Every structure is written in structure tokens, then in C-alpha cells.
A = this chain, B = another copy of it.
Amino acid sequence: MSNCLETKFNDILFKNPVIPASGTFGFGREYEAFYDLNKLGGLCSKGLTLEPKSGNRGIRLWETPAGLMNSIGLENPGVDAFIKNEWPHLKDIDTVTIINVGGKDEESYLTAIKKLNAIDAKLIELNISCPNVKAGGMAYGIKAATAGEITKKVVAISRHPVMVKLSPNGEAIADIAKACEEAGAQGISLINTLQGMAIDYKKKAVVFDNLYAGLSGPAVKPIALRMTHQVCQAVRIPVMAMGGISNWEDALEFIMAGATCIQVGTMNFNNPLAPIEMIEGLEAYCQKEGLANISEIRGII
């Protein structure tokens, strides 16, 4: 295996730029049945909050044309239990584990981040964009001013580099990205899910207890690609892009638009081997095109 896919996200070295996305990959264990997680560039944990959360009630998943709506509501064991039960396993996987953190207010973000200072993680993904719960922080993520504020405070106390995960549901996304960059974020990831709604006409009722829910999957790819391009044009910090990436060609397009790494969410459900197939596809592409490293075509658009 050549290292044509080796990718540096600031000074963090990824074997390749392909990373399963938060919330679609649990804490990794489940996918070990399908492939060796060491092959992944990285993996991103389910969104953690300070306290354990049981998530939303009622239906949590709803399929849409080429998309998936979810209203999980950040169900997670909380930071303490994560550090105790999941981290010992995760830390031994030879890949970059990214820790996704949500919060319901400033204090809960900051306390969670402080606790995570105790472990040797490589990168925090600060989730200010989950549309499904207050604790997801989307209230922070849809305005540049508030996004910048929370980022600044988190960066100040975090021992780990912080990448801020943006919402596609707010103000001009490039402005939000710039605000986060100015506030000291070491990277940007995007997009989280788009806010959508589902109605079950047979039941004459909304599908989700929470009224609205988050849309992801191939359906959103054109929007995610546009936003990725806008953000990559606007900031100098590296960008981790996602939203509907379903094969290596999609992954390549996001990289051409300027993304340093890409994340794979919903497609894990469609095809558990999706990330591995993307790695293989990108590798073959580099070989065919004679690229010493994928970075040669990064941001060419």
C-alpha cells in the first residue's frame, strides 16, 4: 500500500482522508465485524454530552428519497462513562479517533471539554449544529456571533485541537466558519444534518415527536458540496467535509472543492463497507492519475 492518501490535518497525520461520521458509527465496535478499523483514516465518536442522555422518544428514523431523517437526540452515555468504557478500547485502534462533543449551554460544553482533557485524544469535533435537541447546540451554530463565542471559550480550555462542526441551517455558512476561525478553531467540519420535517399522512400526524428532524444522505450532497466550497474559500484552517458522500467519486469531489478530509455518515447504513471502498477507490484514482499524493488535486476547483 502506497501512502498516496496520507493526509495532514494541521499536524495530525491521517493514513487516509476517510472517516466515518459522528453518530453513524457508534464507538466503532459494531463495524469491526465488517473490516479492520485500522484501515480507516480516522473515526468519529457518537456525540457526547456532559451528562448521559437518553435521546428523543418516538420514531427516530424515517427514510426519504435518497435521504434519511433522524431524530436520535444525542443519546449517549455521557463523557464520564465514555472515558471509562469506550476510550480504553478506542485508544488502541491505530487510527485517529475524533471526539464529538455537544452541549446544552456554555457550562456543559466547557465541563465536558475539561473532562476530555484527561485523555489523549487527537482532535475534538465541537458539535454546535445538532438540530435535534437543545443540547445539540444548534442555537450556537446558526449565528456567526454565537458560534465564535462558544468556540473561543472551548479553545481556551481544551488541551486538544478543536474542530467546529457547522450547521447548514443558519446564516451564511462561510461567515460562521470565519467567525470560528477567528475564535481560534483549528479546523472546521461540515455539514451536520439539514432541518427537515416528515408527516405520516396515514396517521395525520408528524412522524417525529420533536416535530422537525435532521436530513442526511445522498440527497443533500449538492448542498454540502456547495457549502464545503464556500467554507474552503473563506478560511485557512483545514476542513473536514461531509454530507451525502456515497462513493469515492463523491469523496474526490469534496477534496477537489478543498476539503482536507471527508466523513461518511448515512452511507454506512446503505453499505457497511462504504468507507473502505472509498479508500480503495481513491487509492486507485491516485495511481491511475499518477498522483504522488491526493493533495495534488485538493482545492483545484
Contacts and interface: CB of A to CB of B under 8 A. Distances in A.
A197 B222 contact: yes
Choose among A64, A223, A225 the residue with the greatest number of B CB atoms under 10 Å from its CB. Answer: A223
A205 B301 CA distance: 6
B222 A215 contact: yes
Contacts of A218: 64-66, 219
B196 A212 contact: no
B205 A223 contact: no
Given A171-B171, A201-B256, A65 B64 contact: no
Interface residues of A, number: 39
Contacts of A249: 201
A257 B196 CA distance: 13
Contacts of A69: 222
A153 interface: no
A80 interface: no
Interface string A162-189: 0000000001000000000000000000
A221 interface: yes
A204 B66 contact: no
Given A205-B301, A218-B66, A223 B199 contact: no
Contacts of A65: 65-66, 217-219, 221, 244, 246
Contact of A229 (B67, B197, B229, B253): B197
Copies in the complex: 2
Contact of A219 (B220, B246, B253, B257): B220
Interface in A234-291: 244, 246, 249, 252-253, 256-257
A86 to B, nearest CB: 32
B212 A226 contact: yes
A195 interface: yes
A157 interface: no
Contacts of A246: 65
A297 interface: yes
Contacts of A206: 301
27 contacts: A64-B218, A64-B219, A64-B221, A65-B217, A65-B218, A65-B219, A65-B221, A65-B244, A66-B67, A66-B218, A66-B219, A69-B222, A195-B223, A196-B221, A196-B225, A196-B226, A197-B222, A197-B226, A197-B229, A199-B257, A201-B252, A204-B256, A204-B300, A204-B301, A212-B226, A215-B222, A218-B219
Given A65-B66, A65-B244, 16 more contacts: A65-B65, A65-B218, A65-B219, A66-B66, A67-B219, A67-B222, A196-B222, A196-B226, A197-B225, A197-B229, A197-B257, A198-B225, A199-B225, A199-B257, A201-B252, A204-B256
